[in-house]
Amino acid sequence: MAHSYDGRTTPRTTPTRLGREVNGGATVVEGSMTQGAGQGPVVRTATLRDFRVPPYAQVPVQSHTQDPIHSGHPGNAFPEGEPPEGYTPTARDLPVISRGGPGDTVQIHVDPDDAPAPDGRGPLYVVGDVHGYLDELVAALAAKGLIDADGHWAAGNARLWFLGDFTDRGPDGIGVIDLVMRLSAEAAAAGGYCKALMGNHELLLIGAKRFGDTPVNSGAGTATFQAAWLLNGGQKTDMDRLQEVHLQWMARLDAIVEEDSHLLLHSDTTAYLDYGSTIADVNDTVHAVLTRGDADECWDLFRKFTKRFAFRDEGGPEAVRELLSAYGGRRIVHGHSPIPYLLGEVGTEDGEDGERPVVEGPHVYADGLAIAMDGGVTMAGKLLVQQLPLTD
């Protein structure tokens, strides 16, 4: 039996288990995690980074209403005030910090450098963790002029990178993926590009789909991708709408890239060094792990990409320099760890006392070597879209 993928036919194969034993493991960490394994061979080609788009994702999906106000919404958005049936409201379910008296806020002011992009290329933008908040993503992209009122690419030769974590917690993770896939095709046609990195929630969703309740080795005992996915905001509506094309797209995402001297990655961890000494090595190794389809090996990858806070505190700058020395670049730009976590003590989410922080932009830290882009949309924060480079 064959599966059609963007007009091409790819033979379906059964994943082989190599029997490799992976030691270590950890308990599930709050916040972000990611995927499992691909099913079938993943072939690196010259066109891979163009992110082939299925026909259904190339045009906006009409709303589930005849109301013209809601028609033409990009992605698979649901009408305002009507979450999808079966949606588990985990939105804003993470704790937020309490930093003092009422009205205390976290203000981070950074502006893009006006210097032109090298080689005449268009401006460079990055997007932090989306976690299924499609409406917030559409609003943030429109505010930067990257899409028009109909949700189509409007930024010409601009370059746009998503830092991973498209699904879980929010109501429409599959709609987010569909939008990013469609924008990648539209941006390429306009002379720019829209690309994405692999976050730990991509690994988590792939693992939940591919392995389900298959036990995996964990330092904390037996675990499963299915249980971890549910614990970390996995949505039944996303799983029900998940198609092979989404799985293939996620499994092909790179883990790390360099753009204009910015080292872009999802997680604030040095665990990338476990997978290679160059950017190409890391990406090839990650893709190979997913292609082999060994549940234990994929869990170990997911576990490592879930680590966080390596760039914070006293040893943070040195950890950043270690990655920059290996992979190049002058600054790291990452998502994964919400900015409120990086800025202070985590408190409760009650919010009754008005003490929630307000995140207005990226957080520059680690002696100015790291830029955090997860504005904490899942914890009443902000979905960040930022032009690079920054002047701070």
Distances (CA, A) of 205 to 70, 108, 275, 294, 374: 29, 32, 21, 15, 19
367-392: b or e for each residue (b if 16 or more CB lie within 10 Å)? eebbbbbbbbbbbbbbbbbbbbbbee
pLDDT band at 118 (very low <50, low <70, confident <90, very high): low
pLDDT for the residue numbered 356:
57
CA–chain centroid gap for 330, Å, is 22
Q: Which residue has the higher pLDDT, 275 or 352?
A: 275
pLDDT for the residue numbered 331:
98
Contact 112, 386 (CB under 8 A): yes
The residue to which tokens 């899409």 are assigned: 147
Q: Which two tokens stand for residue 111?
A: 């502006």
Instruction: Flag whether pLDDT at 53 surpasses 60.
Output: no
The tens digit of pLDDT for each residue in 227-270 reads 999 999 999 999 999 999 999 999 999 999 999 999 999 999 99
pLDDT for the residue numbered 359:
86
Domains along the chain?
Answer: 28-391 (3.60.21.10)
Distances (CA, A) of 31 to 15, 38, 88: 29, 23, 16
pLDDT for the residue numbered 343:
84
The tens digit of pLDDT for each residue in 336-354 reads 999 988 886 454 444 344 4
The tens digit of pLDDT for each residue in 70-111 reads 333 333 333 344 555 544 444 333 443 333 333 333 434 455
CA–chain centroid gap for 321, Å, is 23
Q: DSSP code of 197?
A: B
The residue to which tokens 């799983």 are assigned: 239
Q: Which two tokens stand for residue 211?
A: 């392995």
pLDDT for the residue numbered 252:
95
* CA 281/CA 287 separation, integer angstroms: 10
List of E strands, 12-164: 111-112, 124-127, 159-162
CA–chain centroid gap for 113, Å, is 25
Percent of the chain with pLDDT over 70: 65
Contact 297, 18 (CB under 8 A): yes
Nearest one of 388, 391, 368, 390 to 124, comparing CA atoms: 388
**326 pairs with which residues across the strands?**
none
The pTM (predicted TM-score) of the whole model is 0.74
Q: What is the CA radius of gyration of the chain?
A: 20
